[in-house]
Structure 1
Amino acid sequence: MKKMFLDDIREVEWIYDAELAAEFEVVRSYADFLAYIQKNGLPDFISFDNDLGLDENGQIAPDGYAAAKWLVYKSGLDLRNLKFKVHSANPVAAEQIRSLLKNNIRYSKYYEESFSNI
């Protein structure tokens, strides 16, 4: 099972049991998130942080919500089997990420079930 940990600062062990740390590919930025998925495909599980610090120009970097929006609206990937957790300390952004992904996955499964017999 491929697992990704999107966070600019935290280590996997801060969120998950230390024994699980080796199972995760750690990705530190939005750009690295896109590059990883474009090269390796969609992981089976993604753990999302939202606030991803500053970019190379000292500006606020695209965040975990931007990464989730890219998955849903631009990646063209089938997300129906994606498992995820949001470990962000930002409660509003965490809910935005959860809601976007849950709704997309739920709708995709419903759409497939509803129209597969046509």
Structure 2
Amino acid sequence: MKNNVLVKLYVDDLRPTPNGYLRVYYYKEFVKYILNNGIPDFISFDHDLGIEETGYDCAKFLVEYCLDYHLTIPNFTVHSQNPVGKENIEKLLYNFRKLNK
């Protein structure tokens, strides 16, 4: 939370940005945002982000970043319509939380 404002990040290449969210479209923008601003309070992930990296790649980067800096995974949701991709992101992040309590 920065200046008592909840920072919510929306990771999606196609859907409209919901009110109250900051937006990144692709993996490289996600990485740049985290490196420049740190971990937001909440992240909403899509899985399919164009033709290169996916939302799962974003989630893997987030886990590695949290490991490197001894941080916890922020609250999140996965709004992807890709059921396998959604499950993969959720499992990765929930398992990381379980292992790092």
TM-score category, normalised to shorter length:
0.7 to 0.9
Q: 5 Å matches for 1:5-20?
A: 5-13=10-18
* Corresponding residue number in structure 1 for 2:55: 64
RMSD of the alignment, in Å?
1.1
Q: Which runs of structure 1 show a deviation greater than 3 angstroms over 4 or more consecutive aligned residues?
A: none
1:83 and 1:70 mapped to 2: Cα distance? 16
1:79 and 1:28 mapped to 2: Cα distance? 23
Of the two, which has the highest radius of gyration? Answer: 1
1:79 and 1:91 mapped to 2: Cα distance? 25
Matched, 1:24 2:15: no
**What displacement does 1:66 show?**
0.5
Q: Cα deviations across residues 35-79 of structure 1 (Å, max 9, x unaligned)?
A: 0010010001000000001xxxxxx21000011011113x12412
2:12 and 2:23 mapped to 1: Cα distance? 7
* Equivalent position to 1:90, from 79, 82, 96: 82
Residue identity matched to 1:94: K
Identity among equivalent positions (%) equals: 44
Is the partner of 1:12 in helix, strand or coil? coil
Structure 2 gaps, min length 5: 1-5
TM-score, length basis structure 1: 0.75
Structure 1 gaps, min length 5: 14-20, 54-59, 110-118
Q: In proportion to residue count, which structure has more helix?
A: 1
* Equivalent position to 2:72, from 69, 76, 79: 79
